[in-house]
Amino acid sequence: MAAKDLAALAALFADETRAAFLLALLDGRAWTAGELARHARVAPSTTSEHLGKLVAGGVLAEERQGRHRYVRLADDRVADLVEDLAARSAPAVPEAPRGLREASAGQAMARGRTCYDHLAGRLGIALTEAMTVRGLLRQDTGFALTEDGLAWFEELGMPLAPKGRRPVARGCLDWTERRPHLAGLAGAALCRHALDAGWCVRIGSERAVKVTADGERALHAVLGIEPATLR
């Protein structure tokens, strides 16, 4: 990559409105331009201009259905980059929330959330640590599933079939916990299973997720995680 290409990519992120769009799209879903405009509290014309730059720069992918225009993060590598930048740019001392609603939303996001297609926050860290303690995941030589870890995913009906260049397991720096949580194919499979099996449910309009009573029992059974740590 030439210096001018790196500078051009960095410039795409160096705008507060575009940054707000990218953080919102970390929920892994496709959003309409109108939804992003309301989220960032900017005019539709401004939104269209910013989205055009992000799509042209390869950061977002665009889909059209009838009259509606949807955008999403281009791929998991873009999501990893956004999350890493968010973690590195987070202030050491977080700003005090402005009101009860913002405080509640912040607490929910810190407790558990999706990071593109895997789980983050205290929930993501609890899963990662439990898998490490049980010998399913190694972190001492980089993130890697052990043979027992691969078998564990198989037993739970989550076979991991490598595809493309995405690693089976990857550490993603958590921007609220400042520690790595599990990403990669394994992280995506675990998140998908947790939502499909009803272990977790999405709450609110942000990326926050909450562990259900069934999820507390299941995670205690398969990973020994104490329910109190998930609340």
pLDDT in tens, 116-127: 889 999 999 999
Predicted pLDDT of residue 85: 87
Instruction: Note whether 224 and 157 are same-domain residues.
Output: yes
CA-closest candidate to residue 13, choices 70, 62, 84, 61: 84
Q: 186 CB contacts (<8 Å, ≥6 apart)?
A: 145, 149, 153, 160, 168, 169
Predicted pLDDT of residue 103: 46
pLDDT in tens, 144-178: 999 999 999 999 999 898 777 888 999 988 878 88
Instruction: Note whether 148 and 211 are same-domain residues.
Output: yes
CA-closest candidate to residue 116, choices 182, 214, 213: 182
The tally of domains found in the chain comes to 2
Q: What is the DSSP code string of 58-122?
A: TSEEEEEETTEEEEEES-HHHHHHHHHHHHHHS-SSPPPPSSHHHHHHHHHHHH-EEETTEEEHH
- Last residue of a domain, which of 74, 91, 124? 74
CA geometry: angle at 94 spanning 89 and 97, to 5°? 125
Q: Is the pLDDT of residue 199 over 80?
A: yes
Q: Residue 39 sits in which domain range?
A: 3-74
The answer to whether residue 80 is domain-embedded is no
Task: Report phi then psi at 157, rounded to 5.
Answer: 80, 30
Whole-angstrom Cα distance, residue 116 to residue 163?
Answer: 18
Instruction: Note whether 67 and 154 are same-domain residues.
Output: no
Beta-carbon count within 10 A of 127 CB: 25
The answer to whether residue 89 is domain-embedded is no
Joined together, the tokens standing for residue 3 give: 């210096």
Joined together, the tokens standing for residue 126 give: 């609890």
Instruction: Note whether 60 and 148 are same-domain residues.
Output: no
- Last residue of a domain, which of 23, 58, 74? 74
pLDDT in tens, 1-27: 689 889 999 999 999 999 999 998 988
Instruction: Note whether 183 and 120 are same-domain residues.
Output: yes
pLDDT in tens, 40-95: 999 999 999 999 999 999 999 998 887 778 999 998 889 888 888 887 776 655 55
Whole-angstrom Cα distance, residue 82 to residue 117?
Answer: 13
Instruction: Note whether 214 and 121 are same-domain residues.
Output: yes
